[in-house]
Amino acid sequence: MAKFALAALFLAGASAIAWADQTATLPDGRQVLLKENGTYEIQASGNSGSGGDAYTDLNLVDVKVDMKELENQRIRTSGKGMLVGNMFILTEASTAIDSNGVMVDISKLPREMRKWVVTNCAQGGCRATIEGEVRSDISGFMPGILAHSVKPN
């Protein structure tokens, strides 16, 4: 009888642990908190890389909304890029017209990355992922992203 009670106590404890909040990792590396009540929460630290090379993965809409709070932070975001003159503008890829694009300073990129942007993004735009630092003074007067890299999507 004591063995039965011990087994029942063990199973009750194991089932309680199984229903506690748990963390899962998505294929893109983001962490998700799976809550006991059936809801979930994507964790804020979507960093990849290590040490000072880490970038926080953010949706472009979140970059637009939180631009001031993100100043000087290293981020990674994606969208449709369009080169207009010497300005690279990142917009929502899922919308036909996005008049609220984010300015991206590509002047510090290696020559081959700048050449890719000029070749692929000037006529009709391109889908791209930007890694860089949010700054308040892109082009000397407006907020945007100082690009560290531009990669095709």
Predicted model pTM: 0.65
Q: Which residues of 90-112 are buried (b: 16+ CB within 10 A; e: fewer)?
A: bbbbeeeebeebbbbbbeebeee
If asked whether residues 45 and 30 sit together in one domain, one would say: yes
Whether 10 is covered by a domain: the verdict is no
If asked whether residues 95 and 130 sit together in one domain, one would say: yes
At 98-153, the pLDDT tens digits run 889 999 999 999 999 999 999 999 988 999 999 999 999 887 788 999 999 999 98
Whether 2 is covered by a domain: the verdict is no
If asked whether residues 91 and 75 sit together in one domain, one would say: yes
Residue 34, domain extent: 20-49
Query: Which alpha helices (DSSP H) does 1-148 contain, by range?
Result: 2-18, 60-65, 111-121
If asked whether residues 55 and 45 sit together in one domain, one would say: no
Instruction: Give the total number of structural domains in the chain.
Output: 2
If asked whether residues 42 and 65 sit together in one domain, one would say: no
